[in-house]
């Protein structure tokens, strides 16, 4: 389109279309009403999903982004509409999810007057975004949108906020679409030092007990193929962070499981036995490292990352390989020697046997009459042929789902990793159904997490979003209760929950549902859920005081995992 005079609100719509946006999530209100008025005229090009709460809009956009690899977009109003997005924005920042959040704002003539629904959104969000900007004139719209999308998606992705003053929405200005692919002083992908590639390869070639830690950066960078070629050539066992679980198929012989507080025994204990520790696209989060003072003191560390600020932040890197891991992994792989580390890889088997006997078998084949969380998760995973997208909430359901789901496709786990946001799963799963409409989306949550954003059942009802909701109901805030049991003398302070009848609630939203209490009913109920077109709520009544094990105690060493409560 050539230059023409249009309103800032219409310029926003045209700019979104110019950036290939087809789906946005939002909620209208006074200060963003001109934009929604323009959206009405562009509804054939842009599908707007009306959520029931602005926090739901951001989480849905996160789910969309994580499932599709595209930028998620939200459109909300000022004041409380804008502040309701803060949790989701912070969540997206720490988990490197590309978002553009567009919020209405009072006209510039009212700024600073405590006008109705005025809030300093730029000031609030600057610490939790890659960029936060206030659009004050219509002529700035194409530039601001182009810059926002470039910043959100490039380098290490993250959220961007555009605070859209109402006067800028109604004014007219010449419109010309813009694309930005360069910003002075912003370096999204740092140059790779060729010597670091050589040094990394030499160190890995000389290793007897190498271990690779796979983070979400591999998924973000679409470097799954390069990762697999890297580990297969050098015969390196891998442990995956929570966010990186689907970067490598669960069944790959070099995949030794999940890292972290509730991860698998082998990769955690062997972290403190390896001689070379190779971290790819991960940030050495405290839930992975445990006590930093005792974390892999014997190992030389090679850190692949796109973000220079992550190097030496928590764990000192002997060699830092900066750059996009899709290219840096490939460059190092060229210099790797074909290797075999049979004795080292076999050492994981002893830990696998112990964990299976002490933890996994009792969880998957419980002796009690009550269902366990793990057996429900594995049964759902089996029924989907391990091809579904797993969306989790936060807490025991998250850890059990991550441990007992299996992954055969990339971008198959969507969860709140760094911020740990309860209420994340339901709206994120809605977004995932739009981001990957050809895949089954299984949304696991606890009875606590479901109630955090239960209003989004209304969005599911309206959109007929095919979310398969699996609620693991133990009538507790389970994760907090587990900590109270283990570290606070079983004083269950405000963790037991009096729950409503979730099936009646589902019925009110016209969502088919079923409650399962007996093991012999589980398979049939899962089949009914998966065979039902559209959404379904499966309430699995599980053992009330079940625990997620193994567990590294808070402040403990990564190699000192508890196998029982």
CB 247 within 8 A of CB 221: no
CB 389 within 8 A of CB 440: yes
Q: What is the pLDDT of residues 34-68, one digit of tens each?
A: 999 999 999 999 999 999 999 999 999 999 999 99
Other Cβ atoms within 10 Å of 413 Cβ, number: 24
The CA distance from 214 to 296, in Å, is 16
Q: Which of 548, 413, 394 minimizes the C-alpha distance to 482?
A: 548
CB 165 within 8 A of CB 198: no
The CA distance from 348 to 492, in Å, is 37
HEC readout, 137-190: CHHHHHHHHHHHHHHHHCCCCCEEEEEEEHHHHHCEEEECCCCCCCCCCCCCCC
| β-pairing verdict for 47-50 and 4-7 | unpaired
Structure tokens at 42: 């562009």
pLDDT attached to residue 565: 80
What burial letters (b/e) apply to 174-188, b meaning 16+ CB within 10 Å?
A: ebebbebeeeeeeeb
Structure tokens at 407: 């992954």
pLDDT attached to residue 81: 98
Structure tokens at 402: 């991550």
Q: What is the DSSP letter of 235?
A: T
Q: How far are the Cα atoms of 97, 385, 461, 503, 504 from residue 466, in angstroms, in the given order?
A: 23, 18, 10, 17, 19
| β-pairing verdict for 172-175 and 4-7 | antiparallel
* Summary count for the chain: helices (H), strands (E): 24, 20
Q: How far are the Cα atoms of 52, 202, 300, 378 from residue 297, in angstroms, in the given order?
A: 49, 20, 8, 36
Longest dimension (CA), the chain: 72
Structure tokens at 421: 């946001």
Rounded to 5°, the CA angle 556-561-565 comes to 100
pLDDT attached to residue 433: 98
E strand or H helix at 48: strand 47-50
Q: Which of 325, 346, 322, 338 minimizes the C-alpha distance to 205?
A: 338
Domains of the chain: 4-175 (3.40.50.970), 194-348 (3.40.50.1220), 369-541 (3.40.50.970)
- What residues in the chain have per-residue pLDDT under 70? 1-2
The CA distance from 443 to 450, in Å, is 10
Three-class secondary structure of residue 117 per DSSP: coil
Rounded to 5°, the CA angle 341-343-347 comes to 115
Half-sphere exposure of 93 (CA within 13 A, CB side): 17
Structure tokens at 176: 């010309």
The CA distance from 430 to 182, in Å, is 33
Sign of CA dihedral 522, 528, 531, 533: negative
Rounded to 5°, the CA angle 428-433-436 comes to 115
pLDDT attached to residue 2: 54
The CA distance from 174 to 496, in Å, is 60
CB 283 within 8 A of CB 308: no
């Amino acid at each position: 389109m050539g230059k023409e005079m249009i309103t800032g609100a219409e310029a926003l719509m045209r700019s979104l279309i110019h950036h290939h946006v087809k789906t946005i999530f939002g909620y209208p209100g006074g200060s963003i009403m001109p934009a929604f008025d323009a959206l009405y005229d562009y509804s054939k090009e842009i599908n707007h999903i009306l959520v029931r709460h602005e926090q739901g809009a951001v989480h849905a956009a996160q789910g969309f982004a994580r499932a599709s690899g595209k930028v998620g977009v939200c459109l909300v109003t000022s004041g409380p509409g804008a502040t309701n997005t803060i949790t989701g924005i912070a969540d997206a920042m720490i988990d490197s999810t590309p978002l553009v959040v567009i919020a209405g704002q009072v006209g510039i003539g009212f700024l600073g007057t405590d006008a109705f629904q005025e809030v300093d959104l730029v000031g609030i969000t600057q610490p939790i975004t890659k960029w936060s900007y206030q659009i004050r004139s219509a002529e700035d719209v194409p530039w601001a949108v182009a810059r926002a999308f470039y910043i959100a998606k490039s380098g290490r992705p993250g959220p961007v906020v555009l605070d859209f003053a109402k006067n800028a929405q109604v004014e007219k200005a010449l419109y010309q679409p813009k694309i930005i692919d360069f910003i002075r002083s912003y370096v999204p992908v740092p140059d790779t030092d060729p010597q670091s590639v050589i040094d990394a390869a030499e160190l890995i070639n000389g290793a007897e007990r190498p271990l690779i830690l796979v983070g979400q950066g591999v998924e973000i960078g679409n470097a799954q193929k390069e990762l697999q070629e890297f580990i297969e050539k050098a015969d390196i066992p891998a442990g995956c962070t929570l966010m990186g679980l689907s970067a490598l198929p669960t069944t790959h012989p070099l995949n030794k499981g999940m890292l972290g507080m509730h991860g698998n025994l082998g990769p955690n204990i062997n972290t403190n036995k390896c001689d070379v520790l190779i971290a790819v696209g991960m940030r050495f989060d405290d839930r992975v490292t445990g006590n930093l003072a005792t974390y892999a003191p014997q190992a030389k560390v090679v850190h692949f990352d796109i973000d220079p600020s992550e190097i030496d932040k928590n764990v000192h890197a002997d060699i830092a390989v900066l750059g996009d891991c899709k290219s840096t992994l490939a460059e190092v792989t060229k210099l790797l020697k074909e290797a075999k580390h049979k004795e080292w890889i076999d050492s994981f088997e002893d830990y696998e046997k112990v964990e299976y006997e002490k933890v996994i078998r009792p969880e998957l084949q419980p002796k009690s009459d009550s269902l366990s969380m793990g057996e429900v998760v594995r049964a759902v995973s089996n029924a989907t042929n391990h091809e579904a997208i797993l969306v989790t909430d936060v807490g025991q359901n998250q850890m059990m789902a991550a441990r007992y789901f299996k992954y055969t496709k990339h971008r198959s786990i969507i969860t709140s990793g760094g911020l740990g946001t309860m209420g994340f799963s339901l709206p994120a799963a809605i977004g995932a159904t739009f981001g990957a409409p050809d895949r089954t989306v299984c949304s696991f949550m606890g009875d606590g997490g479901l109630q955090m954003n239960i209003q989004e059942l209304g969005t599911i009802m309206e959109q007929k979003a095919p979310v398969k909701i699996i609620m693991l109901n133990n009538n507790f805030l389970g994760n907090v209760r587990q900590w109270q049991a283990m570290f606070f003398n079983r004083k269950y302070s405000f963790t037991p929950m009096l729950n409503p009848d979730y099936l009646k609630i589902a019925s009110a939203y016209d969502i088919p549902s079923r409650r399962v209490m007996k093991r012999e009913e589980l398979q049939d109920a899962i089949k009914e859920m998966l065979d039902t077109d559209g959404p379904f709520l499966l309430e699995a009544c599980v053992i009330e005081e079940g625990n997620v094990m193994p567990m590294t105690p808070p402040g403990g060493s990564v190699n000192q995992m508890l196998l029982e409560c």
